[in-house]
Amino acid sequence: MVKEVCWGMIGCGNVTELKSAPALNKVPGSRLVAVMRRDRDKARDYAQRHGVERYYDDAAALINDGEVNAVYIATPPDTHARYAIQAMRAGKPVYVEKPMARTYAECLEMIRVSEETGMPLYVAYYRRTLPAFNKVKELLANGSIGTPLTVHLTLHLPKGVRDQYKEQQSWHVNPEIAGAGHFYDLASHQFDYLDYLAGPVTFAAGFASNIAGYYAAEDTVTASFGLANGMAGSGSWCFVTDPGNFRDTIEITGTRGKITLPTFAKGDLQLTTGNGTIELCFQNPENIQFHLITQVVNALLGRGECVSTGVSAARTNKVLETIVTNYYSHENNNRR
């Protein structure tokens, strides 16, 4: 058991600037000691701005750094499995960004290597540790809305400016890199949270399509699913709407009320019962992954357990893959 978690971080993109990397230095017993980016100048700049001792432009060099004893992988999903497996085979635990990998098969291979090497594997589904989302879990457990019956997910977002121009499009809409499109990047948070809230998805079916034609990935998805606690679920996702049609809600209906909250947008948790509707406001940490990183660090130091593991995260990949399978099974797309 290590006495201090000395992180090496592979990938220095926007997700790390505020959401995650600063927390690696704030959690007691944790320190970010090295970063890697393929562009060496950008790696140097990141290290200087964040006060990191060493920087690399080669992932293997970072993984083999003698001081690094845990690896945080913050690259696009196409390299998650490769880097995670390299790190675990080097004897180093891994914390990887979501979605866990491009495909369920890659997730299973990551889990197999974790079990083979004995190296822990954690995934950055931090909503499992945020106050509002844990309050919902508490409300369901204490029967505040009676028996939970249904859950409906809605995420309708306006098309991004970059998405409309092929030369500017990000990796998020390139299935070869991302696994699918924005659905994998965003709905993964929602399905992982439901897994935490109500148990694993026991049934899933869906339909994905590309209606606007801006990019190769799906842009509109619908789904129905069932959860281990008996709730029936449905969902609607569209990433090419008009700005006026923005919607972001999780709505859980029970025999005596309902709970509504956003997944991504700022907004309060609403609890509606026979006594009316009350709004509950919660404050997230400055670095939104702080609570989850605290759990990861404590688990590696032998002080507790982490709620987001490779095993739980792989279940989410399986659900996502099942929902979009019709779109990616077309003859003109042999990704799977």
Indicate if 96 and 245 belong to the same structural domain.
no
Indicate if 67 and 190 belong to the same structural domain.
no
Q: What are phi and psi of 116, to 5 degrees?
A: -65, -40
Is pLDDT above 90 for 331?
no
Instruction: Report CA-CA distances (Å) from 55 to 5, 52, 86, 110.
Output: 18, 8, 18, 26
Report, as an integer, the average pLDDT of 81-88. 98
Overall domain count for the chain: 2
Instruction: Please give the helix or strand (H or E) that residue 191 lies within, else none.
Output: helix 188-198
Q: How far, in Å, CA of 310 to CA of 88, rounded?
A: 13
- At residue 332 the predicted structure's pLDDT band, cuts being 50, 70 and 90, is very low
Residue 322, Cβ density class (10 Å: 0-12 exposed, 13-18 middle, ≥19 buried): middle
Q: How far, in Å, CA of 75 to CA of 256, rounded?
A: 44
Q: Is residue 226 within 8 Å of 145, Cβ to Cβ?
A: no
Indicate if 203 and 292 belong to the same structural domain.
no
Indicate if 136 and 246 belong to the same structural domain.
yes
Strand partners, 248: 155
Give the contacts of 168 (CB within 8 A, at least 6 positions apart). Answer: 161, 162
Residue 137 resides in a domain? yes
Which residues constitute the domain of residue 94? 5-127+288-307
Is pLDDT above 90 for 79?
yes
Indicate if 158 and 241 belong to the same structural domain.
yes
Residue 196 resides in a domain? yes
- At residue 82 the predicted structure's pLDDT band, cuts being 50, 70 and 90, is very high
Q: What are phi and psi of 175, to 5 degrees?
A: -60, -30
Assigned token pair, 212? 């606007």
Is pLDDT above 90 for 21?
yes
CATH number of the domain that residue 36 is part of: 3.40.50.720
220-227 vs 201-209, strand pairing mode:
antiparallel
Indicate if 200 and 215 belong to the same structural domain.
yes
Q: What is the pLDDT of residue 121?
A: 99
In the DSSP assignment, the letter for residue 297 is H
Residue 336 resides in a domain? no
Residue 333 resides in a domain? no
Indicate if 75 and 107 belong to the same structural domain.
yes
Residue 321 resides in a domain? yes
CATH number of the domain that residue 241 is part of: 3.30.360.10
Indicate if 172 and 276 belong to the same structural domain.
yes
Report, as an integer, the average pLDDT of 90-105. 98
Residue 286, Cβ density class (10 Å: 0-12 exposed, 13-18 middle, ≥19 buried): exposed
Sheet holding 5-10: strands in order across? 54-56, 30-36, 5-10, 70-73, 94-96, 121-123
What's the mean per-residue pLDDT of the chain? 96
Is pLDDT above 60 for 249?
yes
Q: Is residue 110 within 8 Å of 310, Cβ to Cβ?
A: yes
Indicate if 119 and 135 belong to the same structural domain.
no
Indicate if 267 and 298 belong to the same structural domain.
no
Indicate if 217 and 275 belong to the same structural domain.
yes
* pTM for the model: 0.95
Indicate if 217 and 85 belong to the same structural domain.
no
Is pLDDT above 50 for 335?
no
Q: How far, in Å, CA of 151 to CA of 252, rounded?
A: 4
Residue 312 resides in a domain? no
Residue 263 resides in a domain? yes
Give the contacts of 156 (CB within 8 A, at least 6 positions apart). Answer: 236, 237, 238, 241, 245, 246, 247, 248
Residue 247 resides in a domain? yes
